[in-house]
Structure 1
């Protein structure tokens, strides 16, 4: 597929414009919502804080929400791009391959049976659940004479996601207290999250994003094919293992702070390729920018869909992403 930005200069310009859009959306996230806030009031909250209701909402709710939206959107998108690269599966994403469901399951188990409430513990549990789910899906996808194939990986991921989701729902039905504690989180939302929640996972998310940029050149070699990569001297197992670790950091960190938000990781990498082509040195940063744009836009829209109530942003991303997922799936199956 021909991409839109042909030259390096245009790609850098696209990144700069995308970054400006992210900043504009973060500012809009601070201003727009159920509580009417003017731009001057938002500015005064930082320069002349007076303890008013509007200023408290801005500092304690809207600013953390904007920062979390940008971080989670970027993380899920980059995790999806890495998954699609190392599996050579255009349908791969943290939600489709069960990574989000595994992270959710681990947290619900901890809340249900061990009454865990620590944000730091949530982070580690999300990473553990994401890693276990990834390992199970990979093992199932490699079974059989043909080895790992995109179709088998997708089916294994869907099965594991369904299993973990069913187990999670079953535990919540049996434990109403746990349901109350984690329902807001399981919906996939960034509303009501605090900077402390982001602070608990931002080191891991930062490592994942920076690591993805550094590994992008090796990913370019890997996607040429296993035999070609090995022929060029690449130790493909180490590259895949490194990418898998970054995926766990990004997806686990995102789920820990925002819950399982669906389909960002599958939609955004395809949009990045539309602009940049197949070079992962550009796909990774474009995925981060576009992921932040998508999640921030969806979160702002979610405030108005059923006002005065708010829809979880995960619902909006599912509505946006499902038709795109069906399109990609139909295109890939028609090519078989």
Structure 2
């Protein structure tokens, strides 16, 4: 069992170097390639009259950093959801959380078209909470609704309803092109100011997630075991879902809906870390950030020099993985 501690510790130790490498590659390569000197000078000796420096600081750097953060947030959200529900199929994009965020952002755009960007973050947080409440509320109300496959189906149905309604509202108010950003996860349109505004929310969500790691570890072993340890199960679940709502809401507000990161990465994190969420949560965050950043880089070269939505790349990994989980583990709760 010793490797269950050595391997995740090695991953966390190597993560900064790998992250820096991916960020550098993300900044340098795209429709227009940048030299290392250009990137260095743009960061440390910014010249507002230089077009290359403008591209680096207003587009490439926010895109790379944003992808790293969003991947981490979604992976941690997926790990928390899988831990508290003992459901291998749980993730923000499948359980209606992401679609709830997009739906709420659409309503905010219709009702307050000139609103400050931080209101979009608030709307996204409220929407993610509403989406989660609807899906899990209905699941608890129907027989065997919390079984993995039924919960996944219910989340997909509610998510499709919310996204379809949002699309209809956007079309009626002639906002379809603007709203499409939140559905196609266009990382190249990340707003640097919005990233700054989201930092306090993100820190709160991350701190809450890390605080709950020990409790989620116990809860992932089963509610009876957790209750036997004197744990307040509903309090832990409520706080964990609050962290999920915050992290997912921030992610959607920044870059729109990104699918499958929260499904794939927690499984990989548990494979290398075991069932101890004191390791699973940070490893999920690290691997999630690296995965989405690498996926974004790959997306640029699938149809070079044109951009391919990063969701296409995550789906190439996610869809087969999702089908594998349904076939091998979808019919039963995790022990």
For each residue in 1:90-140, what CA deviation from the matched residue of structure 2 results, as whole angstroms up to 9, or x when unmatched? 111000001000100011122134425421110000011100111111111
Post-superposition offset of 1:147: 6.4
How far apart, CA to CA, are the structure 2 residues paired with 1:47 and 1:133?
Answer: 42
Q: Does 1:22 align with 2:6?
A: no
The equivalent of 1:54 in structure 2 is 52
Given the alignment, which residue of 39, 44, 47 partners 1:42? Answer: 39
How far apart, CA to CA, are the structure 2 residues paired with 1:146 and 1:62?
Answer: 47
The equivalent of 1:288 in structure 2 is 285
Q: What is the Cα-based RMSD across aligned positions, in Å?
A: 1.8
Structure 1: gaps (5+ residues): none
CA gap 1:145/1:21 in 2 versus in 1, 3 angstroms = same
Q: After the TM superposition, which of the residue ranges 259-268 and 31-40 deviates more from structure 2?
A: 31-40
Post-superposition offset of 1:194: 2.2
Residues 1-336 of structure 1: pairs in structure 2 closer than 5 A: 6-50=3-47, 51-146=49-144, 148-176=146-174, 178-333=175-330
CA gap 1:116/1:158 in 2 versus in 1, 3 angstroms = farther
Q: TM-score, normalised by structure 1?
A: 0.94
How far apart, CA to CA, are the structure 1 residues paired with 2:113 and 2:37?
Answer: 44
Post-superposition offset of 1:334: 6.2
Say which SS state the counterpart of residue 191 (structure 1) adopts. helix
Post-superposition offset of 1:41: 1.5
How far apart, CA to CA, are the structure 2 residues paired with 1:202 and 1:155?
Answer: 33
How far apart, CA to CA, are the structure 2 residues paired with 1:302 and 1:10?
Answer: 29
Contact 2:70 2:251 in 1 (8 A): yes
CA gap 1:85/1:182 in 2 versus in 1, 3 angstroms = same
CA gap 1:136/1:52 in 2 versus in 1, 3 angstroms = same
For each residue in 1:59-116, what CA deviation from the matched residue of structure 2 results, as whole angstroms up to 9, or x when unmatched? 1111111111111000000000001111111111000001000100011122134425
For each residue in 1:229-264, what CA deviation from the matched residue of structure 2 results, as whole angstroms up to 9, or x when unmatched? 111110111100000100000000000011011111
Structure 2: gaps (5+ residues): none
Contact 1:142 1:149 in 2 (8 A): no
In the alignment of these two chains, the number of paired residues is 332
Contact 2:68 2:292 in 1 (8 A): yes
Post-superposition offset of 1:302: 1.4
Q: TM-score, normalised by structure 2?
A: 0.94
